Structure 1
């Protein structure tokens, strides 16, 4: 990791892998989950419990998702926490609910990335049967590609690199991510802003925007979420 070819590498991956309850439930329900890192001294607690924020376009969708999480054979129990008051609580949807999930204590993909030297930057996102993780590491490109390939093979996963940015000067970095939107992502984001999708309460639904954009609701939200990640993610070291 300290070789002369080492760089600060910022990478976003999109992946599917079998036997993951977050992917099962978000494939079945039109809502999503944000997974948060938990730092606790009790390793048994850390192994068994995970903190998530369920989000969706309606209270019904979020409640349906929480019910699906509770009913899957891959989880033990779901504890619904007090309503979130965090500043970003509506960043992914107008309705959110924080939950603590007790699950089987088996190694997950978060551990797979962490054990290979990746630092998670922000929460993982689980939506439409896929998970996305934004990661930082100091290494060389070839090693990073190899580590990602190892994870893909170890978990029988389908892994796609959505973004890969490097810099030779880790100190003093500002605004590492840039506007890397595709034309369709930019069009979707501009349409959503123009129609009041980001107002609260929203002036328009995702379904109405998708119809105007002439795509399915799922496809439109995919364009929009990718645009949001590109535009709203920034890194500053002081």
Structure 2
């Protein structure tokens, strides 16, 4: 990166990412689970170890999901991790979670494509419904971000949608929102609200428009979002 490519203010880039041969994408599309990954870097032997939170609506879905993860050919070792600071979430009916330390094939991951080009994580990566939601920080300007995204897509055969590029503020990410507290339906509503610009300034979609996309009433949408915001912003 040369001086002309820098921006005076760091940018936060929000993405929806699909890339081929990724076990996280495959399993979250097939199963009623989500996986939040807390950063990964591939070692010289092509393997990587990543801390994940697996989340689902029920403990049975969690157990089945862990079995399927262990059986996946790209996964080598799965160890359960106590998440004492998240017990309030795991005890909530319909909102099951578990920590997993997973040793897996790093050559099928897309993380290094971003990190090697100067991006850093603003939040953990949320994999659900067959895609991954990324929020990254960068010193590149907006034009360079677009060019690099195109380069990554061409390099690994990825499909990447840019949800937004905004000036980063202190507090952007910094450990990320506690997305593991949300149910699957709340994840769907929240991610679509983010994707369509409901939380943008100015707002790019109205509550009525977002409700129409979800095929629910505006009152039901507000009920979902109130619960989401209480879980994400509460103690």
Superposed pair shares fold, TM > 0.5: yes
Q: Can you list the C-alpha shifts for 1:142-176, whole angstroms capped at 9, x where unaligned?
A: 11101111111111111101121137xxxxx4577
2: CA distance between counterparts of 1:189 and 1:108? 34
Partner Cα distance (2:108, 2:53) in 1: 21
Structure 1 residues 51 and 163: alpha-carbon distance in aligned structure 2, compared to 1, 3 A threshold: same
1:16-44 Cα shifts (integer Å, max 9, x gaps) = 111000011101111100001268xx956
Structure 2 gap ranges (5+): 174-197
1:25 aligns with 2:20: no
When you count helix as a share of all residues, which structure comes out higher?
2
The answer to whether 1:179 aligns with 2:199 is: yes
Cα 1:57–1:45 change in 2 (3 A) is farther
Cα distance in 2 for residues equivalent to 1:174 and 1:198: 20
Structure 1, unmatched stretches of 5+, are 168-172, 201-227, 233-238
Partner of 2:125: 124
Check the 8 A contact 1:38/1:46 in 2, yes or no: no
Q: Secondary structure at the match of 2:21?
A: coil
Q: State the Cα distance separating 1:87 from its structure 2 match.
A: 4.8
- Report the Cα offset of residue 53 of structure 1: 0.5
CA distance in 1 between counterparts of 2:46 and 2:12 reads: 26
Preserved contact between residue 57 and residue 95 of structure 2 (Cα < 8 Å): yes
- 1:210 matched residue in structure 2: none
Instruction: Provide the alpha-carbon RMSD of the alignment.
Output: 3.5
CA distance in 2, matches of 1:144, 1:122: 18
TM-score, length basis structure 2:
0.69
What secondary structure does 1:77 align onto?
strand
Residues in 1 aligned to 2:199 and 2:228: alpha-carbon distance in whole angstroms? 21
1:30–1:107 Cα change, 3 Å: closer
How far apart, CA to CA, are the structure 2 residues paired with 1:30 and 1:117? 33
2:11–2:166 Cα contact (<8 Å) kept: yes
Q: State the alpha-carbon separation in 2 of the partners of residues 3 and 100 from structure 1.
A: 41
Q: How does 1:98-137 map to 2 (within 5 A)?
A: 98-106=99-107, 108-137=109-138
